Amino acid sequence: MSEAQAQPSGAATDQEAHGFRRKIVGKVIKDKMDKTVVVECVSARRDALYGKYVRSRKRYKAHDAKNEYKVGDQVEIQEHRPISKQKRFVVIRLIKKFVEE
């Protein structure tokens, strides 16, 4: 096996090196901290007994290095190594900008 076959491309190793990292879509609800936003993720699951859908929400603190995301923006966050005591996520991208009318 040659060197080129043994070493996969750099982009592939970055994704696989850390295994599976969750990606979650949510809405920014607080942006008052420096380099941090609070993202609320709402999920709906079906109740096993009654069959009705039950909404649950979870709030995550996510790292926002440039302080570019504001309240109301819909963003995608991804798991990351611990950045601080409560921050374990980082904002990857903006999905939808909040437009105030």
Q: pLDDT tens digits for 28-74?
A: 999 999 999 999 999 999 999 999 999 999 999 999 999 999 999 99
How many of the other CB atoms lie within 10 Å of CB of 85? 7
CA-to-CA distance for 24 and 92, rounded, in angstroms?
A: 10
Does 1 have pLDDT greater than 80?
Answer: no
Tokens of 71: 């309240």
Q: What angle do CA 40, 44, 45 make, to 5 degrees?
A: 140
This prediction has a pTM of: 0.77
Q: Return the pLDDT at 17.
A: 64
Let me know: does 24 contact 60? Beta carbons within 8 Å. yes
> What is the mean predicted confidence (pLDDT) over 82-92?
96
CA-to-CA distance for 61 and 47, rounded, in angstroms?
A: 28
What architecture (CATH level 2) is domain 20-96? Beta Barrel (2.40)
